[in-house]
Amino acid sequence: MRKRPFIIAALLIIVGGVGLAAKHVYDPSEPAAASVPAPAVPVVAGKVTSQDVPIYLRGVGTVIAYNNVVVHSLISGPITKITFTQGQTVKKGDLLAQIDPNPYQAQIDQITATRDRDQAQLVNAQANLDRYTPLLAKGFATSQLVATQKAQVTQLQATIKADEALLQAAQINLSYTRLTSPIDGVTGIRQIDEGNIIHPTDTFGLVDVAQIQPISLIFTLPEDTLPQIQQQMAKGQLTVLAYSQDDKTKLDEGKLLLIDNQIVQTTGTIRLRATFPNARNQLWPGALVNARLLLNTRNNGLTIPGSAVQQGPNGSYVYVIAPDGTAQIRPVTVTQITGGDVLIDSGLKANETVVVDGQYRLAQGTPVQVLHGKAAREADLQSAVQQAIP
């Protein structure tokens, strides 16, 4: 019975000790340990620049010859001479081939002889009429004789006119024995060889001649761009740029010639035709190229590198580096992308700093460390390698 007070006292001491220990650990009056700040994320940054930016409408088109002519013969005959080389540049009127002219020259000679004979007969008939007319007044010739002679003169005059027409037609046929280029251009593949007989009904003719200086481009744009194009065309002629299929090499610069008179309903597009001087022959008929129609120029437009723009569920955004060195998400509206630069319509201001590489480790408020020089170049290279690995 004496041990019970001792046990109770021991329990009270143990409970008191635990209470003091708990108070010491969880006492809110004691200061908590300081939190460790998040490390800064290394990034590559770029400035928002303000400059005049051209606004383009982009489409894909096919290069066609400004003029394209298949040289056909208007007469039949054997080809005695080919005077051009396939792929040769020719001028209008240059001789391409010679058809045997002898049959047509003989025809001219025959018609000429017939005409000369009829002219001689006319001279004789006119002389007789001149003799009969005074005799009629004196009663030594009948009126029937004079009338018959007048009719003969008239008939011979008509015959000579017919001879002249036949002679002119024969001379035209003789000129057709010379096959000449109707335009300035480049010859294609020859369709018939020397020694063969050429006919007006031959499907492919002698050769195809294509005019490539200047040259044309037919390209398409969405039909909803038509009002913008018409509005700008009313102010003056629009410029069109032709680029290679990879959209990196500028091939030539030309002018918009016309808009087609109807919309292609199956594709919802409009067809446009532009002309280019093609001084370096970089545009060739049949080539597929990218077309940029210069609509207007945005003065003091805001541009950033294209890699700065990210896509999220709510649209495009960029990371802006705030003055306190943290990354801030900023929604932006993109107008166009040209040559790796993005034209921003809204969301940014000139001279702000945006993250162009390293966004994958960022979130709202993340502290950043901007890399410069060699470190920035190495970060760009590493990012490019990571993107290339599937």
Task: Report the DSSP pairing between strands 315-321 and 327-331.
Answer: antiparallel
The per-residue pLDDT for 22 is 40
Average pLDDT over residues 87-95: 95
pLDDT of residue 209: 97
Task: Summarize the confidence of residues 200-222 as an average pLDDT.
Answer: 95
Rounded average pLDDT over 246-254: 93
Whether residue 331 is predicted with pLDDT greater than 90 in this model: the reply is yes
Inter-residue contact 305 to 284 (CB < 8 Å): no
> pLDDT tens for residues 110-137?
999 999 999 999 999 999 888 888 888 8
CB 243 within 8 A of CB 253: no
Global confidence as pTM: 0.69
Please compute Rg for the chain using Cα positions. Answer: 46
Q: How far is CA 68 from CA 27, 98, 362, in A?
A: 96, 22, 59
In this prediction, residue 389 has a pLDDT band, given cuts at 50, 70 and 90, of very low
203 vs 17, residue with greater confidence = 203
Round the average pLDDT of the chain to a whole number and report it: 87
Q: What is the pLDDT of residue 66?
A: 96
Residue 142 has pLDDT above 90, yes or no: no
**Percent of the chain topping pLDDT 90:** 67
Residues 160/119, Cβ–Cβ less than 8 Å: yes
Distance CA 153, CA 142 (A): 17
What is the dihedral angle through the alpha carbons of 84, 88, 91, 96, rounded to the nearest 10 degrees? 20
- Structure confidence at residue 23 (pLDDT): 46
Structure tokens at 249: 């090499």
The whole-number pLDDT of residue 36 equals 62
pLDDT tens, residue by residue, 158-181? 999 999 999 999 999 999 999 999
CA distance 303 to 321: 16
The candidate with the shortest Cα–Cα distance to 221, out of 276, 257, 284, 263, is 263
Confidence of residue 335 (pLDDT cuts 50, 70, 90): confident
pLDDT at position 13 is 47
Length of the chain: 390
Nearest-CA neighbor of 253 among 221, 214, 220?
A: 214
Phi, psi of 148 (to 5 degrees): -60, -40
Give me the percent of the chain exceeding a pLDDT of 70: 86
Instruction: For tokens 């050429």, name the residue.
Output: 198
Q: Which residue has the tokens 């009904």?
A: 201
In the structure, what pLDDT confidence band is assigned to residue 8 with cuts at 50, 70 and 90?
Answer: very low
- Sequence-separated (6 or more) residues with CB below 8 Å from residue 375: 42
How confident is the model over 313-329, as pLDDT tens digits?
989 999 999 999 999 99
219-243: pLDDT as tens digits: 999 999 999 999 999 999 999 999 9
**Farthest CA pair distance, the chain:** 198
The DSSP result for 241-294, as a single string, is EEE-TTS-SEEEEEEEEEEEEEEETTTTEEEEEEEE--TT----TT-EEEEEEE
Residue 143 binned pLDDT confidence (cut-offs 50, 70, 90) = confident
- Mean pLDDT of the 266-272 span: 95
Nearest to 243 by CA among 68, 56, 55, 53: 56
At 18, the pLDDT band (50, 70, 90 cuts) reads very low
The Cα-based distances of 292 to 238, 253, 276, 318, 360 in angstroms read 11, 10, 13, 27, 33
Question: 138: pLDDT confidence band, cut at 50, 70 and 90?
Answer: confident
Q: Of 45-54, 196-205, 282-291, give the lowest mean pLDDT range.
A: 45-54
